[in-house]
Amino acid sequence: MNSAILTIAPAGTWNLDSIHSRVDFEVSYLAGTFKGHFNEIGAQLTVDGDRASLEGTTNVASIDVNEENLTAHLQSPDFFDVERYPELRFTAEDISLDGDGQVAVRGELTIKGITKQVTVVGTVTAPIADPYGTERIGLNLSTTIDRTNFGINWNNPLPSGEPSLANDVTVIAELQFVKSGEES
Amino acid sequence: MTRILGISGSLRRDSHNTSLLRAAAEAAGPNGELELYDGLKEIPPFDEDDDVHPRPPSVARLNEAIKSADAVLFSTPEYNSSIPGQLKNAIDWVSRPVATNVLRNKPVAVVGASTGGFGAVWAQAELRKVLAALGARVLDIELPVPHAHTRFENGGLTDDEIRARLEETIESLADEAREREEQKAAV
C-alpha cells in the first residue's frame, strides 16, 4: 500500500480548459432521454498539500438544447429562471480518492438560488504533459439530482396521468484542467 | 410606482372580470397604478401568414402595452372549463417569437370570476400554464371569485375579503416587479 497521501493532482492551481470540457445533463422525457449542455463553463481546482478544492460554474444563459424556443423555455422562470439566477455553481473542499483513479467529491450545488449538499463521483487521470508544455489532468464526474429539490418543478402529464418529465436529472462533467504556470 | 396592465378575458360591457380589475385598480393604492386594457376585441384571429412586420395595429398596440407595463394582471372568466378563445388568441399573438416575447420574465398574476360556484379556477390554472410556457414570471396566486353576480353592485365590488385578496395580489406583483428592477440595476 502506498503510504503517500493521495491527492487528486499535484499541488498547484489547475484551470479549466473550457474548449475541451463539457457539462451535460440528461433526463428521462416521454419515451426517451432528453440531453442538453451548457456552452459556457468555468472551473478551478486548487491543490495545497493534502487539501484540494474544486469550484465550477455554468452560465445558465448558455444552455443549449438545439432548439431556440425550447432553450428559451428552459431559461424562463418555469425552469432555470436565468434572469434571476444566471449561474449554476458547485463548490467542494471534500475530495477523496481510492488510489485507483476513482474520485468522490462532496460539495454544495447551487441551482436556482437553492444550495444542496451533493456527492459527485467519477475518475481522475494521472497528470500528463501535453504538447503545449503544460501539465494536464482529466476529471470526469457525474451525479444525479432531484430537480424538484432545486425548485424546478415543471411537468406535463401524459394521458395516463404519469408525468412526462422525470425528476431525476443526471449531470455529467467531462473536464480537462491545465496547471497554472503561476506559483500557488 | 409599479405600472400594472389589467387584461380582462371577457369582452362584454358589464363583465364581472372587468369589474374585478376595476376593483383591483382601486385596491392598488400606493403600491401600483393599474391601467385597464380595452382593445382585446380588436385583435384578429392569429394567422401565421399575418404575423409579419408591421403587425396588425391592434396586435402592435397590445404588444406595446404589455412591454411598457412592469407587470400584468389577468382576470379570466371560464368558458367550457378553459380560457376564453379571444384571450388565448391575443396571448398567442404576443407570444411570438417565444424566445423574445414581451411577456418573457414579466411578473404576471391571474384572477378570475364566474357566476358559478368555482370562480373560474380551471381557466385560471390553464392561463397560468400558458403564461409560464411562454416564459412569464407567473405568481403562485389563485383568486377565484365564485357567484360573481352577488359580489358587485353597479360594477363596484362589495366583498371585502376579495378586495383584500386583490390588494395582496397587487402587492405581490409590485414586489416582483421591484425585485426585477433592482436586479437589473445591480447588473
pLDDT at B17 over 50: yes
Look at residue A6 in the predicted model and tell me its pLDDT. Answer: 67
Is ipTM strictly over 0.85?
Answer: no
C-alpha distance from B136 to closest chain A C-alpha (Å): 7
**What's the mean per-residue pLDDT of chain B?**
96
User: Strands B107-113 and B137-138: what pairing?
Assistant: parallel
Residues in chain B closer than 8 A to A77 (CB atoms): 105, 132, 135-138
Distance CA B5, CA A30 (A): 37
Look at residue A2 in the predicted model and tell me its pLDDT. Answer: 40
Cβ contact A26:A35 at 8 Å = yes
Nearest CA in chain A to B95: A69
Look at residue A182 in the predicted model and tell me its pLDDT. Answer: 58
| B interface with A, Cβ–Cβ below 8 Å | 97-100, 104-105, 132-138, 179-180, 183
C-alpha distance from A153 to closest chain B C-alpha (Å): 12
Residues in chain B closer than 8 A to A71 (CB atoms): 99
C-alpha distance from A59 to closest chain B C-alpha (Å): 15
C-alpha distance from A77 to closest chain B C-alpha (Å): 6
Work out the average pLDDT over B66-75. 98
Distance CA B131, CA B126 (A): 9
Provide the terminal-to-terminal Cα distance of chain A, rounded to the nearest Å: 29
**What's the mean per-residue pLDDT of chain A?**
93
Nearest CA in chain A to B107: A77
Mutate one of B134, B173, B182 to test the A interface: name it (highest A CB count within 10 A).
B134
Q: What is the mean pLDDT of each run of 10 residues along chain A (184 residues)?
A: 63 96 98 97 94 96 94 95 97 91 96 98 95 95 98 95 97 97 57
Q: What is the pLDDT of residues B113-147, one digit of tens each?
A: 999 999 999 999 999 999 999 999 999 999 999 99
C-alpha distance from B159 to closest chain A C-alpha (Å): 33
pLDDT at B186 over 90: no
Cβ contact A172:A23 at 8 Å = yes
Look at residue B30 in the predicted model and tell me its pLDDT. Answer: 78
- Of A68, A77, A81, which has the smallest distance from its Cβ to B99's Cβ? A68
Under the banding of pLDDT at 50, 70 and 90, the label for residue B36 is very high
Work out the average pLDDT over B66-82. 97
Work out the average pLDDT over B152-163. 96
- Window A:78-137, CB contacts with B under 8 Å: 78, 81, 83-84
Look at residue A161 in the predicted model and tell me its pLDDT. Answer: 96
Total-model pTM: 0.88
